[in-house]
Amino acid sequence: MSSYAIGIDLGGTNIKAGLVNKNGKIQSRLSIKTNYNADPQIISNQIFGLIEEFINSANSTTAEVGAGLKPAPISIAGIGLGSPGLIDKKGETIIFSPNLPKWRNIPIKRMVTERFSMPCVLENDANAAAWGEKWVGAGKEASSMVMLTLGTGIGGGIVIDNKLWRGANNVAGEIGHMVIQMDGPPCSCGNYGCFEAFASATAMVRRFKELLKSGTSSSLKDSGEITAKAINDAAFQGDGASLDIIKETGQYLGIALVNIMHVLNPDVIVLTGGMIGSGELLMNPIKEVISQRAFEASYKDTKIVFSKLGNDAGIIGAAGCLLKELGISV
């Protein structure tokens, strides 16, 4: 039998899932909108429904094999679940998730294991995505790597000596919640001045609206709802206000990367998430700030790259964490 894992990427906007083989390839995928403000049981049922679809599908599906070989039946080894927020030290419970406001102390690993009688690994979503990039993506050749997920919030995952670094209490990598200004704007975590409150997609929209209120002209001024994607699209069309906001966001990101380089000095820093759609408009100010502020010894051999796996990193990484724990993949 060919061993596969179900990878679940639980997000505040969507729940994405995939059936992943031991080489990090997605065989099939599913996605549904997250009922993010609902009771935990409702969201849990959404997760269970996706898992059940894969299990039912696997019972009637064969894996792809090489030419001349007989099709192999699919065996699902278990379930990897990547979730936003803080995971307890044992890797069993979601303690708190800023983007899922009613999720507090949810023993999701036990719930999944008991329902499906399969092994389950629970991992922070940014850690899962980081492991996906380390396993088969942009960090494959690196022994040390830091990945930032840039979206509604900002997450981080750290790999040191080819292993995920989770910290003493499983909360390492919360890069979005580094405080960079003592009296800065409020963050969704309840603190003030977090990096996420300056450089996430949510913060970019907030700062853009503030810019419009100050009287700055923009093609988006009368366009209705303003989103990070709309700002990005307008920037590519030459809108000055949008270009300024993306540049400023890149500068904040550059500051964070300087701090990361000075503390960890990784082989590679990988940027992923919806915001990397800005491409060089975002990357250029990042690199400019780094060249101005980082020690040369810290950045000269550190590569800064965009994700190779894109939105699939969370799915692949969650499945990879499960397969690695079972000794099925490296």
Query: In a structure prediction context, what are the per-residue pLDDT tens digits for the chain, which is 330 residues long?
Result: 568 999 999 988 899 999 999 999 999 999 999 987 889 999 999 999 999 999 998 876 555 545 454 555 678 999 999 998 889 999 999 998 877 888 899 999 999 999 999 999 999 988 999 999 999 999 999 999 999 989 888 989 999 999 999 999 888 998 999 999 999 999 988 999 999 999 999 999 999 999 999 999 999 988 888 999 999 999 999 999 999 999 999 999 999 999 999 999 999 999 998 899 999 999 999 999 999 999 998 888 999 999 999 989 999 999 999 999 999 876
Give the pLDDT confidence score for residue 65 in this predicted structure. Answer: 47
Q: How far apart, in Å, are the Cα atoms of 64 and each of 5, 29, 72, 220, 315?
A: 15, 15, 7, 48, 19
For position 223, what pLDDT does the model report? 83
> What does the pLDDT read at residue 2?
65
What is residue 278's predicted lDDT score, i.e. its pLDDT? Answer: 95
The whole-number pLDDT of residue 261 equals 96
Tell me the sheet residues that pair with 194.
179
String of b and e for 129-149 (b: at least 16 CB within 10 Å)? bbbbbbbbbbbeebebbbbbb
Note the pLDDT of residue 69: 45
- Comparing CA positions, the residue from 84, 90, 114 lying closest to residue 16 is 84
User: Which residue spans within the chain are E strands per DSSP?
Assistant: 2-10, 14-21, 26-33, 62-63, 72-83, 86-87, 94-96, 104-106, 120-124, 145-150, 154-160, 163-164, 268-272, 303-306
pLDDT of residue 62: 57
Q: Which domains does the chain have, with CATH numbers?
A: 2-134+311-325 (3.30.420.40), 142-307 (3.30.420.40)
- The rounded distance, in Å, linking the Cα atoms of 34 and 42 is 10
